[in-house]
Amino acid sequence: MHKPWEGRFREKTEEFVEEFTQSVSFDRRLAEEDIRQNLAHIKTLLKAGILTKQEAHLLEKHLLDILKEVQEGSFPFRKELEDVHMNIEAELIKRAGEIGGKLHTGRSRNDQIATDERLYIKREIKECVILLKNLRKELVRLAENSIDIIVPAYTHLQRAQPIRLSHYFLAYREMFLSDELRLINAYRLADASPLGSGAVAGVDFPFDRFFTAQELGFRSLVRNSMYATSDRDYLLDTLYACAVIGMHLSRLSEDLILWSTQEFSFVELPDRLCTGSSIMPQKKNPDVLELIRGKTGRLYGNLMSLLTTLKGLPTAYNRDLQEDKEPLFDSIDTTKKCIEAMNLILEGLSVKADRTTPPFGDPMTATDIANYLVMKGIPFREAHRIVGNLIAYAISQGKNLGDLSLREFKEFSELFEEDVFELLDPRVVVDRRKTYGGTSKQEVIRQIQIAKREEGVR
């Protein structure tokens, strides 16, 4: 197999080097983008007078045949031809003859790979955005179905204040909305054409780069040819967006893992989404959630990997940049799978409301009791201390706040009256949180309506 660049060489490439430098085993994923790019480049060459109409047609026809074979999976990729670009070009030359050799006029693999990756990432980001939207819709559905379920909210993993379970799901829905913004930011940075930059300095043929960009559906151009051929910043933004999605999914996983323990028993995962133990017959393990949590480490690693590759690179293209692909593909695949896995889990989740609802007298309403005193004129710090003492007393008596009498309350402040007992009901205190974005019923319903409108759900 002849290599397109072999003219200058007097020795056959060492086989080890072929194996070590090849990228076709993984960049073949970019074959469709590469062909799309070739088709646009043919039009640019035609416009610049380098190809005749007939030549352009011939090349197009063969490229479309190759595209079909790529899509069917029958295209014969060869490692000796190093990367996806030379594989497709070599095959085109084989089929179209000498004219095929005109395709690479005024182009370098440096602007070629930069273009393929931008086309690829735009497509993948769109898919991730759709998956995230489905996940958010599922969270909104759960929020709607759990308005009347009260759960403890934890801070420091200690019972803090009661909330509506909807409120919890809406928190994650908002996180995944911010993830969409990060992805769109990466998309916008990727949405510029590097093609026509050549190897580093631009091209000495009269290429209309604006025309090429339009043909490929790019919104704008990467202007400077040095930057265009070596910029991978938009990939960093993509990998960062994936890492944050992973972080959000991982925290949600952790909560659900904890909530599905016997000790919590707040939720039950369906058998079909769990796995068992090879030795302990009683086990039902939340492995899907653990793997989502675990794979987040890879998403972080991939971001660090590319950051490290880019650090200290001499200006313009260096072969190190080939190392961007495996982390990128892995992050995209992993992120998409993890979002889908979480969607499945949420669809199958059942909540045990009898377990989650805090009992009457649960000290989680202590903030409200302190605020009761505040409304009667006591400075908050003082009210906090009084209620703290009240709680310490209840603990020392082995009692719940609900077991105390008004007399006992009054020992801590004369201002306590019969109506304080209403505030020992977690169902009552949740509805006192009426601030925008708070957990009261009216506010949660409002937030669900906003979410539904934003997600286009009826």
| Contacting residues toward ligand ARG, per CB under 6 A | 23, 27, 83, 109-110, 113, 319, 321-322
329, amino acid identity: F
The closest alpha carbon to 111, from 196, 217, 201, belongs to 196
Tell me whether residue 105 or residue 285 sits nearer to ligand ARG (CB atom): 105
- Sequence-distant (6+) residues with CB within 8 A of 279 are none
Q: Which residues are catalytic?
A: 156, 277
d(CA 394, CA 32): 70
Tell me whether residue 117 or residue 443 sits nearer to ligand ARG (CB atom): 117
304, amino acid identity: M
The closest alpha carbon to 427, from 360, 367, 371, belongs to 360
d(CA 115, CA 121): 10
d(CA 159, CA 363): 9
Tell me whether residue 8 or residue 319 sits nearer to ligand ARG (CB atom): 319
d(CA 108, CA 389): 76
User: Partners of 285 in the beta sheet?
Assistant: 275
Burial class (CB in 10 A: 0-12, 13-18, 19+), 73: exposed
Dump the DSSP string for 403-458: GS-HHHHHTT-TT--GGGGGGG-HHHHHTT--STT-SSHHHHHHHHHHHHHHHT--
The token pair at 369 is 């009791």
Tell me whether residue 285 or residue 322 sits nearer to ligand ARG (CB atom): 322
452, amino acid identity: K
Tell me whether residue 208 or residue 320 sits nearer to ligand ARG (CB atom): 320
Q: How far is the CB of 5 from ligand ARG (least distance, A)?
A: 9
Antiparallel, parallel or unpaired: β 267-268 and 350-351? antiparallel
SS3 (DSSP) at 198? coil
Q: Which residue has the tokens 């093609």?
A: 195
Tell me whether residue 316 or residue 415 sits nearer to ligand ARG (CB atom): 316
Q: How far is the CB of 301 from ligand ARG (least distance, A)?
A: 20
Tell me whether residue 3 or residue 427 sits nearer to ligand ARG (CB atom): 3
Q: How far is the CB of 116 from ligand ARG (least distance, A)?
A: 9
Q: How far is the CB of 147 from ligand ARG (least distance, A)?
A: 51
Distances 347 to 139, 150, 167, 273, 432 between C-alpha atoms, Å: 9, 20, 18, 10, 31
Burial class (CB in 10 A: 0-12, 13-18, 19+), 306: buried
